[in-house]
Copies of this chain bind each other. A is one copy, B any other.
């Protein structure tokens, strides 16, 4: 939170009085998304470890634990520190923690919380063990398997085995399992194409599990899956933990994924909006609003406008230009809801999230891990 700033809303306010730009959360839809996910998972044996990088908000993480989450995922050690300080003590850092500064923070944190971390590199494994020894603590590690995202992770079961052997030879590390997140599959529109990417991932994980078993290594956790694919990971009988994060909010990009019938998926509803103000009406076909690049991420496209026939057509630092049909009667100061193209980096631009019900502000949550990219 930037303590130079005043929050955009107070509890009890009408949402039309909220200052803009503001992140709005429709609490009915948000709660319904949580219920729907819970329902999808309670009939399975798959654990639920939601990713907090989407919301960066301890208040939401705590609700997810109430929903039955066994812990949370963080992407960064600074994110995990903030969540731990807020009382969340079971955290998988679903990422590599590299270099002396960050590794020291990791091992220190592991003394007050149960911390797991991903690895994909020998020297990194050795370094984490050395610092864990120095600080007299133990760290649980997951080997990251690259299942087609082409980002971090080792490729193939033999590389997994090599790292597991190394981990097991170290005094202060515990081999816990495998992370196999198919990041690229999350946003593949077509149902069967998405499903087939996760099936390939599951097969790669299965090969690794078989090889580890042959070598007498047991693998407690197999973690992966996001909002776009977690149902496939659940069905796989290979994964026993899924990591969806965006399902609480949704966004323009996730909203374009299709189900088996070729229809837009409607499992989760859009709960996250950006409230913006019409700040200029230069012509009868153009309105300018106060949400630009500093309050909405545009990497997955420009935001959608919650007004029929109106399009957000260009973003500059603090301006957004709307193309409006001539019949629409917009007034200066009107407040309009936008749907961000990509929720994670949009949330990270804000210090507060304003929860509302029946157009009235019910809560203002601090996005405590905003900017926690260390």
Q: Does A155 sit at the interface, judged by CB under 8 A?
A: yes
| Interchain CB contact (< 8 A) of A317 among B75, B99, B283, B370 | B75
Given the contacts A121-B332, A279-B152, A332-B121, A53 and B318 also touching, CB distance less than 8 Å: yes
Instruction: Report yes or no: B371 in contact with A280, Cβ–Cβ below 8 A.
Output: no
Instruction: Report yes or no: A316 in contact with B183, Cβ–Cβ below 8 A.
Output: yes
Chain B proximity of A108: nearest CB distance (Å): 12
Residue tally, chain A, CB below 8 Å to B: 74
| Interchain CB contact (< 8 A) of A290 among B150, B183, B373 | B373
Q: Does A364 sit at the interface, judged by CB under 8 A?
A: no
Copy count, this protein chain: 2
Chain B proximity of A204: nearest CB distance (Å): 14
Which residue of chain B has its CB nearest to the CB of A22?
B374
Which residue of chain B has its CB nearest to the CB of A293?
B345
Q: Name A335-374 residues within 8 Å CB distance of B.
A: 342, 344-345, 348-351, 368-374
Q: Does A327 sit at the interface, judged by CB under 8 A?
A: no
Tell me, in angstroms, the Cα distance from A316 to B121 when the chains sit together: 21
Q: Name A199-215 residues within 8 Å CB distance of B.
A: none
Instruction: Report yes or no: B288 in contact with A6, Cβ–Cβ below 8 A.
Output: no
Q: Name A308-325 residues within 8 Å CB distance of B.
A: 315-319, 321
Given contacts A53-B317, A155-B282, A294-B344, 16 further A-B contacts (CB under 8 A): A2-B371, A4-B372, A98-B280, A98-B333, A99-B277, A120-B282, A121-B281, A121-B332, A150-B282, A150-B321, A151-B321, A152-B279, A153-B280, A154-B282, A294-B373, A349-B349
A residues at B contact (CB < 8 Å): 1-6, 8, 17, 19-21, 53, 75-76, 78, 81-82, 85, 95-96, 98-99, 101-102, 120-121, 123-124, 146, 150-155, 183, 277-283, 286, 288, 290, 293-295, 297-299, 315-319, 321, 332-333, 342, 344-345, 348-351, 368-374
A-B contact pairs, 12 of them (CB 8 A): A2-B372, A4-B85, A4-B369, A4-B372, A53-B317, A75-B317, A120-B280, A150-B282, A293-B297, A294-B345, A294-B371, A317-B345
